[in-house]
Amino acid sequence: MDIQRRPIPGSYIVAADRRRMSALSREVQVEKVLGHSQDTTFLLVQADQPRADFLPNYEYRGDLFDRAIPGRSDQPLHLDIIQAAKAWEITRGSSAVTGAITDSGADLAHPLLQGTSWQNPGEIDGNGLDDDGNGKVDDKNGWDFSDDDKDSRDPEGTHHTHVHGIVCAQPGSGVSGVAPGSKAMDLRIAGGKRPFSSALLVESYLYALKAGVKSINTSFNIDAFVGDKAIASTYRELANQDVLLFNSAGNDSRRNPKRSQFDDLILVASTDTAEATRDQRSEFSNYGVGIDISAPGADIRSTLPGGRVGALSGTSMASPVVMGVDLLIQSAHPDWNASQRWAQIAGTSDRLEGDEMGYGRVNAGRALSETLPAPTLSVTTETFPNGQTMELNLRFDKVLDPASASHPSAFQVFNEKGEAVIKGAPKEVRLGTNQLRFDFARLPKGHYKFVASGQVLKDPFGQLLDGNKDGQPGDDLVVEFDRVA
């Protein structure tokens, strides 16, 4: 069933600094403090009329999950495919590193999940007090935002239980998490008494941010979130605060799903695990330009409610595989920021056929053991039979530092006189941007030179662009073309 979205009358989300908060409390009814990010507080307010900085709070109804498909494997094939054992020679994950799972509630009594859940160090369980002052009473093991209480468990929560196990289940019964030494913060955001809303998702993400989490996985159908400014601004806020957001690409066999418009999160497609079709796109998986990376998502063996284990398929299973690799990298390199971690994950992935499965299929062994070479770019042009070039598509072979790629001198087009007639990228470059399209249709007749600067463009580790792919950083990528009309 499609997801239906409707604005909740009179309900808005506002991001305010301290001075603005004081004024808001006098002007409108503040229903709830949703959370904080540095000097900004996110508020849920009630107001008769919207204002420019009031973002609508939407209610969502329908099939929120990227539904898992029954699988048939009795072996954890995905761990072999991503070379988990090679990564585990370096680290199996640190207990000080936690990834948040926003989902429908997990069976945390499962034997293989014991000791894998995050424990709030600032909270004393059962004393009826909000010891750490985060607005939640007795939140020792996360929070159920769907019921607004401390119990994020669901003894029948198949989806969440399986995802949690993929991330950090303890080895046993043919199951192991990708990062079995790390922890998972379980945040229930659906399935309870409260309807799912923009405010609910925003609140759950800000909770994880306040707790210091640097990775969040949401295996939900977020196509309907496109156009929701409150959710989009929260994605942006967390990305700016060094958090990697992982989300399933979707199970509709669709090219360029709506969610691919989000450039502040990592969309994960699914590849097959069977020997005959290994590393091919799973039949159900979405794909396209906006997909960021792929991971095994077919027949993934993990934990199920009631102490069981079993296989499920879906991009919901692929996404936590990648977050697990991020937890391993955080454990091995606690000083790396989100840009560096993502560059390492993407840059060490195994390339797949075609350009619509992101940077490739994630490889944990390579991600933990290899040093990235200088970044390169690949170019395709749309050229008419008469030699006239209409557009240039620039694909990032490796992740570029967003600040360098957004610099006005990063990309330029020069005319025959050496004058720069185009400066800068055609859109803002974010961590989730992996391709740029330059439109030359409005350029007058003449000969031109497109230059991607080898002195400006760099990766998040500071390595300059290898524009001519000779193995030496610092050269420009140059493409000459003609306009004949």
Same domain flag for 269 and 355 = yes
Same domain flag for 81 and 45 = no
141-150 pLDDT, tens per residue? 999 999 999 9
Regions of the chain short of the pLDDT cut 50: none
Same domain flag for 342 and 381 = no
For residue 86 the two structure tokens come to 């090679």
The answer to whether the CB of 58 falls within 8 A of the CB of 7 is yes
Nearest to 464 by CA among 355, 372, 338: 372
Same domain flag for 348 and 402 = no
Domain end residue (candidates: 321, 347, 369): 369
Same domain flag for 128 and 204 = yes
Quote the pLDDT of residue 448.
Answer: 96
Residues 6 or more apart in contact with residue 168 via CB below 8 angstroms? 93, 99, 116, 177, 178, 179, 180, 181, 182, 183, 184, 324, 327
Same domain flag for 188 and 317 = yes
How many structural domains is the chain composed of? 3
Same domain flag for 125 and 24 = no
Same domain flag for 410 and 394 = yes
Quote the pLDDT of residue 253.
Answer: 97
Domain span holding position 39: 4-58
Establish if 63 belongs to a structural domain.
Answer: no
Give this prediction's pTM.
0.96
Domain end residue (candidates: 348, 369, 390): 369
CATH number at residue 196: 3.40.50.200
User: Average pLDDT of the chain?
Assistant: 95
Quote the pLDDT of residue 1.
Answer: 52
Same domain flag for 136 and 264 = yes
Establish if 164 belongs to a structural domain.
Answer: yes
Cα angle 376, 382, 387 (rounded to 5 degrees) comes to 115
Same domain flag for 223 and 365 = yes
147 vs 78: CA distance, rounded Å: 34
Three-class secondary structure of residue 253 per DSSP: coil
